[in-house]
Amino acid sequence: MPGGGGFEHAKARPGFRSPSALLPVGPPVSVCGDLRARGVRGAETLLGPGAHRWIPVKEVAMGQPERGLELQRVIASATDKPHVILLWGHPDPDAIGAAMAHKRLCERLGASATIAHVLPVSRAENRALIKLLNVPLMRVSEPSDLEKFGYLALVDASASETSIRVPESLKLLTVVDHHRPLQPPKAEFVDIRHDVCSTCTIYADYAERGLAPFGAGGNDDSPVATAMFFGIQTDTDDFAIATQADLRAAAYLKPFCDAETLSRVGRRTLTAEAMDAVGRALNDLEVIRDFAIAGVGRVSANNRDAIPMAADFILRREDIDTALVYGIVEDRIDGSLRTRRPSVDPAAFMQAAFGDDSEGRPYGGGRADMGGFRIPLGMLAESDDDALLWRLVRETVYKRVARVVPELEKKLDTRSRAD
């Protein structure tokens, strides 16, 4: 936003970062085209006639080659007990793709692995991805559901799902993620790369460097490659914010993908409930300079992604650079933040606004241009007075966000008088 009157002036407060933290990337184009058209520097590539992969001429800097060898060693030394890959939150394409990649590695190295999740898959295209690729997911709800496993693997997260207690007997073995952790995870293998936008990018790097490369041995790697490609595509906003490493990973995976499946899962649809929720967000919209906040009321767990959809939609308004949308999902407050301003750090914003729970676990987190939070309602969830509950939720969220955007406190006073 031009001039000094926008949200930019707040960047010295918690939740803001230097604009230089983001890598500039040109407009999205097909990754199978000339990468130079994307402004990618530091790598020259050749795509031979009929080739099934990109042939590197000059390496794109990305992690250390020995990381894949170390992951191989750790998994291969833990084949005595089954592994569980426990997904955090509502499973999204990057987490699903990375989990499939990790399961594939485990199976190639002689370890049994199961992909598990606690919260439901809440987006239509994610459910379509799971159905079309026949992704083997196990829903768990109690600690006893995890007792048969000996090793825990985390992908696209550095801490285990907060809504389930992990048995003490379950050893955290590996962590692979691209989000910046608030606390270093204690696992035998940790690979967290902040310079990529997708966890699937990291697994593609392992494969390209020789750890169970795709297409080797006549194996059908199409389902895993397709899920990973879609994970990268989704987490880079259709490659609009992709780094050089993300583009390289997508180019490596593309020849192994099922083009028809990619086309089908890419058709993003809205349920009637989600569309209604977006409408409620627009009616509830509060704007302070180029920051917007809105509530959607109560939404079902299956349509929880109406909240980030509403944030994405609000961000399209020309005078808004950062949007936060929240609602009630089952027994918690659920919220999403979206931003296109480089000076806003979603992870720091979430931490400054919502902090940690009684056990020191953060209520929220984020990455380059998006973040989210979940706050349990506790006994308030049993309230039969939805109107009163919603006023309490709004007051809670406004007061927390006012830690970063102080002007929101005045808006809360105005709303309270109106109610």
Span 156-177, pLDDT tens digits: 999 888 888 999 999 999 999 9
Residue whose token pair is 């300079």: 289
Interval 316-323 mean pLDDT = 92
pLDDT, residue 418, reads 57
**Cβ atoms within 10 Å, residue 58:** 8
pLDDT, residue 6, reads 39
Asked if 31 contacts 254 with a C-beta cutoff of 8 angstroms, the reply is yes
Percentages (nearest 5) of helix, strand, coil residues in the chain: 40, 20, 40
Which tens digit of pLDDT belongs to each residue from 65-120? 688 999 999 999 999 999 999 999 889 999 999 999 999 999 999 999 999 999 88
Beta bridge partners of 174: 153, 189
> Over the chain, what is the mean pLDDT?
81
Q: For residues 418 and 411, what is the distance between their CA atoms, to the nearest angstrom?
A: 11
Asked if 371 contacts 182 with a C-beta cutoff of 8 angstroms, the reply is no
For 249, the token pair is 């990973």
pLDDT, residue 219, reads 77
pLDDT, residue 268, reads 64
Q: How confident is the model at residue 190 (pLDDT cuts 50, 70, 90)?
A: very high
Inform me whether the pLDDT recorded for 279 exceeds 80. yes
Which position has the higher pLDDT, 89 or 212?
Answer: 212
Which position has the higher pLDDT, 217 or 2?
Answer: 217
* Entry pTM: 0.67
Q: How confident is the model at residue 415 (pLDDT cuts 50, 70, 90)?
A: low
Asked if 224 contacts 96 with a C-beta cutoff of 8 angstroms, the reply is no
Beta bridge partners of 326: 295, 335
Which position has the higher pLDDT, 140 or 184?
Answer: 140
Which tens digit of pLDDT belongs to each residue from 22-52? 222 333 334 434 344 434 433 333 222 333 3
Inform me whether the pLDDT recorded for 20 exceeds 50. no
Q: For residues 317 and 314, what is the distance between their CA atoms, to the nearest angstrom?
A: 6
Beta bridge partners of 138: 116
Query: What CATH number is given for 272-418 in this structure?
Result: 3.10.310.30
Which position has the higher pLDDT, 45 or 401?
Answer: 401
Inform me whether the pLDDT recorded for 400 exceeds 60. yes
pLDDT, residue 64, reads 57
Interval 197-208 mean pLDDT = 96
Interval 203-218 mean pLDDT = 91
pLDDT, residue 416, reads 57
Q: How confident is the model at residue 128 (pLDDT cuts 50, 70, 90)?
A: confident
Query: What CATH number is given for 66-265 in this structure?
Result: 3.90.1640.10
Which position has the higher pLDDT, 269 or 188?
Answer: 188
Of 16-25, 178-187, 230-239, the range with the lowest mean pLDDT is 16-25
Which tens digit of pLDDT belongs to each residue from 222-274? 999 999 999 999 988 888 788 899 999 999 999 999 999 988 887 666 678 88
Percent of the chain with pLDDT over 90: 51
Which position has the higher pLDDT, 361 or 71?
Answer: 71
- Show me where the domains of the chain are located: 66-265, 272-418
325 CB-near residues (< 8 Å, 6+ apart)? 281, 293, 294, 295, 296, 307, 308, 310, 311, 314, 335, 336
